[in-house]
Amino acid sequence: MEQITLSNQIVQYVFTGITVGSIYALVALGFNIIYNATEVINLAQGEFVMLGGLIMVFFITTLNLPLVVGFILTVLVVTAIGALFERLAIYPLEGASVLTLIIITIAASIFIQGLAMGIWGKDPYDLPAFSGRTPISFLGAMIQPQYLWILGITIVVVILLNLFFGRTMVGKAMAACADNPEAASLVGINVRMMVLFSFALSAAIGSIAGIVITPVSLMEFDRGPMLAIKGFAAAVLGGLGSFGGAVFAGFLLGVIESLFAGLVHSGFKDAAGLIVLLIVLFIRPSGLFGSTEVTKIKKF
């Protein structure tokens, strides 16, 4: 029987880790966008991912739309859901404490899951892979073409987000709200509107994660919370609010889990990621890329 060398195995572990990490990174980005605008940890972030996957299934499998059309429609629908969520659950509670709002996001998470269960039932759903399922051999590792899509789309999202926050007026306004909402409103930025944008944008990114991951791991109504936990760990590890940190920490977490599972013990891989998180927080309470000064003035 064909044996596999250790170096081939390690290539496989690292590549799998980066792919899984891409999803953590996308979820972590979603956390950060809302956190920056509102200081709220949106615990329904994983539900955006789940909705992305399942709504894409509806467009592609049920309506037989082309991939690109389905992709765009899905992102639009989930973005609208994100905006609606803000208008219905966050906006009416002007002046509520951050903690209250976080608890409301938990309620929203349960509500959205229940709704999804009502619509799609409890079965997992599949999507066709974007460019077939024939694995590519790379340095002795076998890689699904979909993994390259996941990685590529994550990179594109990160670049677009950078351009958005660095180059566009809305993006800069959102960044300003993140730095100091009061000063931002003094210079004429509509802070409430930016909060709405942040939920919409964060939902859009979540839905993209859901769309790209479903062909690999299927999607069902209660997948969200686990992804949210991993994404949250990545966001905290990278430093809450730091976009670069979120992406780096997402990849790091994915690779650590994967290497630990492959080389040490697959039963404790989730623990391995969380232990690294705890160690980092012990040494640097504001995360790898978070600023200690900023952390002090934030409520969370």
Partner 1 sequence: MTRKLFAMSLAALLIMAFTIPVMAAEKEPYKIGAVFSVTGRASFIGDPEKKTTEMLTDQVNAAGGINGHPLEVIIYDDKSDDTDARLLVNRLIKKDKVVAIIGPSLSGTSLAVVDLVKKYKIPLLSCAASWKIVTNPNTKKERHWVFKTTQRDSHAVGRIYDFLKSKGTKKIAILTVTTGFGASGREQLIRLAPKYGFTIVSDEKFGPKDTDMTVQLTRIRGTGAQAIVGWSIGPTQVTMVRNWRDLGMTNIPFYQSHGFGSKKNIELAAGAAEGVFCPMAAVSLARLVPDDHIQKKVTMKYNQDYEKRYGEPVSAFGGNSWDAFSLLVDALKAVGPNKKKIRDYLENRKDFIAQSGVYNFSPSDHNGLTKDSFEIVVVKGGDWAIPQ
Binding site for partner 1 (CB under 8 A): 1-4, 6, 9, 12-13, 16-17, 19-20, 23, 122-126, 128, 133, 135, 141-142, 144, 213, 216-220, 222-223, 226-227, 258, 261-262, 266-267, 269-270
**Closer residue to partner 1, CB minimum distance, 123 or 293:** 123
What is the smallest separation between the CB atom of 65 and partner 1, expressed in angstroms? 19
Rg of the chain taking only CA atoms, in angstroms: 19
Query: Side chain identity at 168, as an amino acid letter?
Result: T
**Closer residue to partner 1, CB minimum distance, 152 or 244:** 152
What is the smallest separation between the CB atom of 32 and partner 1, expressed in angstroms? 21
Contact 287, 281 (CB under 8 A): yes
Cβ burial, residue 194 (10 Å; 0-12/13-18/19+): buried
Measure CA 173 to chain center: 22
What is the smallest separation between the CB atom of 2 and partner 1, expressed in angstroms? 8
What is the smallest separation between the CB atom of 5 and partner 1, expressed in angstroms? 8
Beta-carbon contacts of residue 60 (< 8 Å; ≥ 6 apart)? 67, 70, 127, 128
Measure CA 75 to chain center: 14
What is the smallest separation between the CB atom of 283 and partner 1, expressed in angstroms? 27
Contact 30, 210 (CB under 8 A): no
What is the C-alpha to C-alpha distance for residues 4 and 11, in angstroms, rounded to an integer?
Answer: 11
Query: Side chain identity at 86, as an amino acid letter?
Result: E
What is the C-alpha to C-alpha distance for residues 105 and 52, in angstroms, rounded to an integer?
Answer: 18
The Cβ of residue 207 has, within 10 Å, a number of other Cβ atoms equal to: 29
Q: 238-247 as b/e, with b when 16 or more CB fall inside 10 Å? A: bbbbbbebbb
What is the smallest separation between the CB atom of 60 and partner 1, expressed in angstroms? 13
DSSP reduced 3-state for 142: strand
**Closer residue to partner 1, CB minimum distance, 10 or 294:** 10
DSSP code per residue over 206-236: HHHHHHHHHHHH-B-TT-HHHHHHHHHHHHH
**CA angle, residues 116, 45, 106, in degrees to nearest 5:** 75
What is the smallest separation between the CB atom of 215 and partner 1, expressed in angstroms? 9
| CA-wise closest residue to 115 among 94, 88, 91, 90 | 88
What is the smallest separation between the CB atom of 127 and partner 1, expressed in angstroms? 10
